[in-house]
């Protein structure tokens, strides 16, 4: 989960440098088009590893175009990188 979010954050920085802002949205699906550009900013946006066929768990994403936040719930709530069991990657410019 941590690596997934860090990979997405890296793709977002490349996207911002090319386009001047981050994709605006309040759901990770706002980033799906980044997979289909030529070349793609990211090749695939994973679901949370706890996803099952009957329950798709997406990572959290929100952005106003200037800043973004990515969130994942970690299996170990005591992970030193987590706060209240949540791992966040935040960019504030």
Contact 22, 63 (CB under 8 A): yes
Taking only the tens place, the pLDDT of each residue in 31-69 is 999 999 999 999 999 888 888 888 888 899 999 999 999
Dist CA 84 CA 89 (whole Å): 14
Dist CA 5 CA 74 (whole Å): 12
**pLDDT > 90 in the chain, percent:** 61
pLDDT confidence of residue 28: 93
What would the two tokens of residue 72 be?
Answer: 């994942």
Predicted TM-score of the model (pTM): 0.88
For residue 32, CA distances in Å to 37, 47, 55, 81 come to: 10, 12, 19, 26
Q: Which of 37, 42, 23 has the alpha carbon at shortest distance from 91?
A: 23
């Amino acid at each position: 989960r941590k690596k997934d979010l860090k990979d997405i954050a890296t793709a977002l920085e490349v996207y911002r440098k090319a386009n001047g802002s981050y994709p605006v949205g309040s759901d990770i699906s706002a980033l799906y088009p980044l997979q289909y550009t030529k070349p793609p900013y990211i090749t695939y946006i994973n679901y949370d590893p706890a996803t099952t066929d009957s329950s798709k768990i997406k990572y959290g994403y929100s952005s106003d175009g200037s800043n973004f936040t990515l969130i994942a719930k970690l299996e170990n709530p005591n992970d030193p990188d987590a706060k209240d069991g949540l791992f966040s990657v935040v960019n504030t410019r």
